[in-house]
A and B are shown apart, each in its own frame.
Chain A
Amino acid sequence: MPDPLFLPGDAWLHRLDPRVKLAFAVMATAALLSVENIWVFLGCLGLCHVLLLSARVPLARLGGAWRMMLPITLLIVLLWPLFTPVPGTPVGQLGALTFTWESLLGGVAAALRLNALAFAFLVWLLTTDQTSMVLGFRRLGLPYTWGVTLAITLRYIPTLYALWERVLDAQRARGLVTAHANPWRAARAHLPVLVAVLIQALRAAETLSRALEARAFGAPGHTPTLRRPLHFGRRDAVALALIMLTFGGIIAARSGGWV
């Protein structure tokens, strides 16, 4: 079974208002996209890890997230110098291309920024159950059906990943070899997997949409219940203030040209 994105628990981060956690992810995104400073990226990554560990998220789970991000991280680090060469101190040569220390550092910074973004959203996703998420969306003015749809989409990401693994196994059992040195051939070899996953995902989506409708989703004449009340307490206010100060400060510093 795939690990769902949400990790059940009762830590302080789980109890925090879902809107505050969403504000963390959104403000972190704004800050990370507004600056070009590797220390900000590293700082944000460190903060996310501290928050998640304080919410008793196991190290193995964080390791799993890093493993998921590893291929794209490597790809960025390796390809960045090719597509955005920066003049500077040369460290290596590949044909006509010269790798400089500065371009490699640019690749590392870009990969760190992406990971920091992913972990900022993980702080929200790993500690917010679906009902709270929908509740948060509704209180922010999003229609109920949109909130449910968004929450279900997030819930299905690990399921799709598990489906990909299962289909890959089924095709490998028929002799499919996906490991090729040539990236183009490797990508093409995954085509039978991609097509089968898409077909099955569409089937599953159709079943799910019918099942939702059969359970009165969108039933006319009913206002859906907010089963659990949402209380924006003092702790939530403090957390929100800190988020605004930290990330707002970074954005302001960028505008002032200090970072």
Chain B
Amino acid sequence: MSAPLVRIEGLHFAYPSPRAGMTLPPALRDIQLSVAAGECVAIMGASGSGKSTLCLALNGLVPQATGGTFRGHVWVGGQDTRTTPVAALATQVGLVFQEAEHQLCTLSVEDEVAFGLENLGLPADEIERRITWALEVVGLNPLRRHPPAQLSGGQQQRLALAAVLAMQPAVLVLDEPTSGLDPVGRQAVLAVLANLQRQGATILMATQDAEAAAALADRVVVLHEGAIVLEGTPRAVFGQEARLHALGVTVPQLCALSARLGSPTPWLTLAEAVQALQAQWPPTHPVDVPPATGMPAAEGDALVCLEDVWYRYPSGVQALRAVNLRLEAGEAIALLGANGCGKSTLARHINGLLRPQRGRVLVRGQDTRRSPAGALARWVGYVFQNPDHQIFAPTVWEEVAFGPRNLGWDAATVRRHVTAALERFQLDHLAELPPATLSCGARRRVTLAAVEAMQPPVLVLDEPTTGLDGALTECLMAWLAECHAAGRTLVFITHDMARAVLAPRCVVLQEGSVALDAPTAEAFAQVDLLARAGLMPPPIVALGLQLGLRPPPLTVTDFCRRIGLSPFPHTGEGDAPTPALPVHGAGA
């Protein structure tokens, strides 16, 4: 291996304290890391473990823009990132931030790529050449004149990547490059990265996406509370399933399966898993057990009913076309589809934020067109994808009490429900802190508590797992299971196909129409239809289908049961018992 391109020695960093007398724990502690040219390193860890801070330290934003206490050294291509101005490091380090939408600053795709090149003062013909090259690499050349704001999430992420690629940095640093993307968008981003890796690019990628790390990385580094606690090849790291689970890190499904079946080495690819299973546990006599979904469908009255619903936005986009959907009380459905297929539009019809232009929506028999705005909040709770869309109050307590007060409850009832919700999400010790200053995971828990305090019988969740670490995702899923067991109705919008199996029924939307409405196991077996809708089954389902298990198993536990083996006790997958909520404190 060649000389290290990135060298980090004894890095210790703490963000400046937000107020006098308050000290934040260090975000990074004694980091020693070297990355060789051409290497791809995945940085993993729970929320708040220091992944993003490490990314910012690589291009000098930490500490140059953030301030704070910085000790140790970070060199990239021989340049000290602490003393070299951030803008001057741009040709050494290309940093793609987590939210692509917030880093695109121009009005056309080619202008976006040109921006950095113009700043470097390159000649105009060289800029044109690099724009074409970078857009070719990410597959966006046909969209050169498009406004970035009108691209899909996956396309925006690829554009952000092209914008830094064009500057030909020595190292690419990516902060959660696949977060929030639909399966097809995610796959397109991963394909670009795999291609770059083959061409010898040096990549550091902070990610919660274990499948992506397993597929791309030469090395996985796991952070915990700012320190490196695990480091090695993906096979070596993902083989330590129990340890990763304790650290709040998700394990690829196939690795979890290999651990459950006692395989000496974890399986990273579908081919490896198929080969091992066919050799050791040929499923010639699969046990005829219907796949367990965790939630049996409930029977009862239609609580939500959409009848021939059409909706068109003022921009002219036809978001919903003739949608018919009936939800029984106590039922749970997963609402799936590519970005922009109409999932959120449909969900907003259920709580009356949008009214159908044709057809009607009934909630508890009441036509939403005749319900005043906000009146349905009592019946339908909505968890938005971005917790920051609702956080405004000076304290966590006030934030959680906002909804119950709007419902007109008396002070004692509000207090009772808020206290219970704060306890449920282990926020009681943060009750007097301003929610806007909490960590991302804690802010998400505040929004869940805010909905829980209102006790709505119907819950709509819009991409609730986006950006969450393994432990927090499992806690969320446990809460949903509790809600469902208590007879509440769930509509679960997600791109995370492995989590979609929570619901026994799934509805697939394609270009505003219902393309499929079926039990989840049946739906996931229809791979071609899913592909047309921009979806892909999770690895465990793909494995089951390859081995001829129909309907396919939806979880690792199901899989073991279906091939007639008792799974070992749980060590770290979403379909299993849930650990206690991790406590995320204030700060970064």
Point out residues on A near B: beta carbons under 8 Å: 1-4, 6, 8, 60, 64, 129-131, 152, 155, 158-159, 166-167, 169-179, 191-193, 195-196, 199-200, 203-204, 207-228
Contact = CB atoms under 8 A, between A and B. Distances in A.
Given A177-B373, A196-B391, A214-B90, 7 more contacts: A4-B147, A130-B107, A170-B389, A203-B388, A210-B97, A214-B97, A224-B121
B121 A222 contact: yes
Given A152-B105, A199-B388, A176 B406 contact: yes
Given A169-B348, A195-B392, A225-B124, A208 B145 contact: no
Contact of B377 (A60, A172, A209): A172
B127 A220 contact: no
B2 interface: no
A205 to B, nearest CB: 9
B149 A1 contact: yes
A175 B374 contact: yes
A207 B97 contact: yes
Nearest to A130: B107
A238 B123 CA distance: 32
16 contacts: A166-B384, A166-B389, A170-B390, A172-B353, A172-B373, A174-B390, A177-B374, A179-B373, A192-B402, A196-B388, A209-B65, A213-B86, A214-B97, A216-B90, A221-B88, A222-B119
Contact of B91 (A4, A166, A170, A216): A216
Nearest to A8: B145
B387 to A, nearest CB: 9
Contacts of A212: 105
A217 B380 CA distance: 46
A219 B90 contact: yes
A165 to B, nearest CB: 10
Interface string B82-96: 000111101101110
Contact of B61 (A8, A200, A210): A210
B537 interface: no
A208 B102 contact: yes
A226 B97 CA distance: 27
B116 A215 contact: yes
B241 interface: no
Contacts of A175: 374, 377-378, 403, 406-407, 454
Given A129-B108, A172-B374, A213-B87, A222 B149 contact: no
Contacts of B436: 199
Given A214-B61, A219-B119, A220-B85, A131 B406 contact: no
Contacts of A60: 316
Contacts of A224: 118-119, 121
Nearest to B451: A174
A207 B119 contact: no
Interface in B162-176: 163-164, 167
Given A199-B388, A221-B88, A225-B123, A208 B406 contact: no
A210 B150 CA distance: 23
Contact of A216 (B111, B119, B384, B407): B119
Interface string B535-567: 000000000000000000000000000000000
A147 to B, nearest CB: 12
Contact of B406 (A129, A174, A199): A174
B388 A200 contact: yes
B208 interface: no
Which secondary structure characterizes the binding site on chain B? Answer: mixed
B87 A1 contact: no
A212 B115 CA distance: 9
Contacts of A170: 382, 384, 389-390
Contacts of A210: 56, 61, 65, 97
A196 B105 contact: no
Candidate in B95, B105, B114, B121 with the most chain A CB atoms within 10 angstroms? B105
A191 B65 CA distance: 31
Contacts of B124: 225-228
B389 A174 contact: no
Interface of B: 56, 59, 61, 65, 85-88, 90-91, 93-95, 97, 99, 102-103, 105-108, 111, 114-124, 127-128, 145, 147, 149-150, 163-164, 167, 314-316, 348, 351, 353, 372-374, 377-378, 380-382, 384, 386, 388-393, 402-403, 406-407, 436, 450-451, 454
Contacts, number: 190
Given A173-B382, A212-B105, A217 B388 contact: no
Given A175-B407, A221-B88, A1 B389 contact: no
Given A219-B120, A224-B119, A225-B124, A192 B392 contact: yes
A151 B315 CA distance: 24
Contacts of B388: 196, 199-200, 203
B149 A207 contact: no
B450 to A, nearest CB: 7
B78 to A, nearest CB: 18
B85 A173 contact: no
A223 B147 CA distance: 26
A131 B105 CA distance: 11
A211 B103 contact: yes
A8 B148 CA distance: 12
Contacts of B403: 174-175
A215 B115 contact: yes
Contact of B87 (A178, A207, A217): A217
Contacts of B382: 170, 173
B97 A196 contact: no
Nearest to B340: A1
Nearest to B86: A213
A225 B390 contact: no
A44 B389 CA distance: 40
Contacts of B406: 174-177
Candidate in A64, A170, A179, A217 with the most chain B CB atoms within 10 angstroms? A170
Given A200-B388, A208-B105, A222-B120, A215 B85 contact: no
B520 to A, nearest CB: 26
B413 to A, nearest CB: 14
Contacts of B454: 174-175
A196 B102 contact: no
Given A129-B107, A196-B390, A211 B102 contact: yes
A225 B392 contact: no
A10 to B, nearest CB: 10
B103 A208 contact: yes
A214 B149 contact: no
A225 B149 contact: no
B120 A216 contact: yes
Candidate in A155, A212, A223, A225 with the most chain B CB atoms within 10 angstroms? A225
Given A216-B120, A220-B85, A227-B114, A167 B389 contact: yes
B372 to A, nearest CB: 7
Contacts of B392: 171, 191-193, 195-196, 199
Candidate in A191, A199, A219 with the most chain B CB atoms within 10 angstroms? A219
A177 B315 CA distance: 26
Contact of A223 (B121, B149, B372): B121
The 4 closest A-B pairs by CB, nearest first: A175-B406, A211-B103, A175-B377, A219-B87
A4 B94 CA distance: 27
Nearest to A162: B149
A219 B93 CA distance: 14
A23 to B, nearest CB: 22
